[in-house]
Amino acid sequence: MSISSSVHPDRLLLSQPDCLLLAVDANLGQHRSFTTASATTSNHDKIEVSLRPASPPHPSRLYVHCPDLTLAVPPRVIRVVEDLFLLRVVVGSPRDGAPGDDSDYFVYRTGDERQPWLQRLLRPHPSFQDDEVGLLSRGRGNYTVAVLQEPEWVSPLYDLHIFHTENPTEWIHRKVSVTEPQRRLPLVIPENCARLLRHYETSTVISIGGEAGTMGWVDLWHGILLCDVLRDEPTLRAVPLPVPLDLVSCDRGRGAELGNPIPFRGIAFVKGGGDNGEDCLKLVHMETKATLVPGSIESGSLSFQMHDWTILTYTNTAMTSSWKDWRRDCRMQASDITIDTQIKSELLQSGLLGSGSGQALHNLLVSHPAPGISAAADHQGVVYLMARKKYQHPEGWMLALDTRKKTLLGAAEFGVNSQLCASHKYYYCPTGNAKYIKPSTRMRYSMASIDPFLTAKYNGVVNQNK
């Protein structure tokens, strides 16, 4: 049985109308609606992009359609900021001799009072990884794309590449350095956790904005490098992240070897998300108590047994070089979470929990935590997680949790591939894009065929136009 309906509408759909939970891997296919926009690839093939929104924790999805081009790799959403999406489309194919990693980058805007549009970033552009590129919305259709690349060897200088819509054929290159380093860690870091001592690898990029166009390149173990990309002479300043004390203190003080942080940590910038309406950073960190199932390595089928997991959330409204800026909001242990009767019944019938799976909520293998981005006071404690029955299971579920009330708000199926927990990439991201979706009056009458989310969101408008 599908658990796609196991969402309490009063808790999610109606209290967070501006949030979408976007699946970052786009669907291949046509899905025309008032969100559809088209352009051409660098090979002069037509490309069409549409958004199919849904209410969290159901995933919203982008659809990409290229009628004259076979896309061997699903397009991927790299960043979402306000009403803008930055996506990568691999257009290389054997027929034209292009390399397999030959990618076009597009900025897509969903529909508002005007028409949606799709723009391709003209080449040449710097060669960069998905995790290195950020997107900044500057209003009225203007935007900036920026790439920050790590220094080579022992050089203190980073390479910053900037693209502005005002100069669509030019990438500006700057050498930038850290002029405001973060303060020393307040505790001794064991050798196994040396990854905490420097910006080793960018995990994601956040957009803060403002007059100077502040963006942040985040290493989820170490900290954030903030850069004002609209200044003539940009520099970097460092903001630390909370130390993962569970990993530093484990193994009798020797600490855990820190690998990829994305399965354990998530971050977001939330406008008006502070207790007093301030802009802030929100971080979620997940602690796990899991053991390797005996014999699973020898059998060639790696498996873990989850005993319990804990979610910690933090807020930072100052964003300076000090660890003291971070305030811990909540600590929620999975075994203490309560589940609504209706949701629990559907989870049991789905086989995700209960006698069929032999698991309770705290036994589920969870990963990829992400803080909700709503500034509404009654929704600031929401955290999303990916869950599955066992390691590398091809079926995933999105869980929506209220960390302040320690409740499970809802769950929904989320299709993934077999590399769910092995891959370091993101599978979804919370966005505030829904408030920018404004279909014309003509389209409001047919929204029920697109998604129930839109019917509920605009129900009052539809009734007024009858």
Q: What is the pLDDT of residues 346-388, one digit of tens each?
A: 888 877 887 655 578 998 999 999 999 988 777 889 999 999 8
Check whether residue 159 and residue 219 sit in a common domain. yes
Check whether residue 451 and residue 423 sit in a common domain. no
pLDDT recorded at residue 378:
75
pLDDT recorded at residue 297:
64
In a domain, 11, yes or no: no
pLDDT recorded at residue 98:
40
- Distance of CA 323 to CAs 45, 71, 278, 311, Å? 50, 45, 18, 19
pLDDT recorded at residue 290:
86
In a domain, 13, yes or no: no
The total of structural domains in the chain comes to 3
Final residue in a domain of this structure, among 261, 286, 307:
261
Contact predicate 149/70, CB 8 Å: no
Check whether residue 272 and residue 247 sit in a common domain. no
Check whether residue 148 and residue 103 sit in a common domain. no
In a domain, 427, yes or no: yes
Check whether residue 145 and residue 240 sit in a common domain. yes
pLDDT recorded at residue 9:
36
Check whether residue 420 and residue 295 sit in a common domain. yes
Q: Which residues are registered as beta bridge partners of 62? A: 51
pLDDT tens digit string along 56-84? 889 999 999 999 888 888 899 999 999 99
pLDDT recorded at residue 158:
95
In a domain, 6, yes or no: no
Check whether residue 252 and residue 275 sit in a common domain. no
| pTM of the predicted model as reported, rounded to 2 decimal places | 0.88
Residue 188's Cβ-count burial label (10 Å; 0-12, 13-18, 19+) is: exposed
Final residue in a domain of this structure, among 242, 261, 280:
261
Check whether residue 344 and residue 293 sit in a common domain. yes
Residue-range definition of the domain harbouring residue 186:
134-261
Check whether residue 209 and residue 332 sit in a common domain. no
Other CB atoms within a 10 A radius of the CB of residue 415 amount to: 12
**Mean pLDDT, each 10-residue run in order, the chain (466 residues):** 38 53 94 93 94 90 92 92 94 51 89 82 84 94 94 86 93 95 89 93 96 97 98 96 95 92 96 91 95 70 84 97 95 94 84 71 92 83 88 81 94 67 70 71 38 42 34
In a domain, 44, yes or no: yes
- Distance of CA 230 to CAs 120, 137, 138, 269, 361, Å? 21, 12, 10, 19, 46
In a domain, 4, yes or no: no
Contact predicate 445/439, CB 8 Å: no
pLDDT recorded at residue 465:
35
Report how far residue 156's alpha carbon sits from residue 146's, in angstroms, rounded to the nearest whole number. Answer: 19
Check whether residue 395 and residue 463 sit in a common domain. no
Check whether residue 277 and residue 413 sit in a common domain. yes
Report how far residue 161's alpha carbon sits from residue 65's, in angstroms, rounded to the nearest whole number. Answer: 30
In a domain, 33, yes or no: yes
Check whether residue 74 and residue 110 sit in a common domain. yes
All residues at 6 or more sequence positions from 66 whose CB lies less than 8 Å from its CB, including other chains: 41, 45, 46, 47, 48, 89
Final residue in a domain of this structure, among 218, 246, 261:
261
In a domain, 18, yes or no: no
pLDDT recorded at residue 375:
80
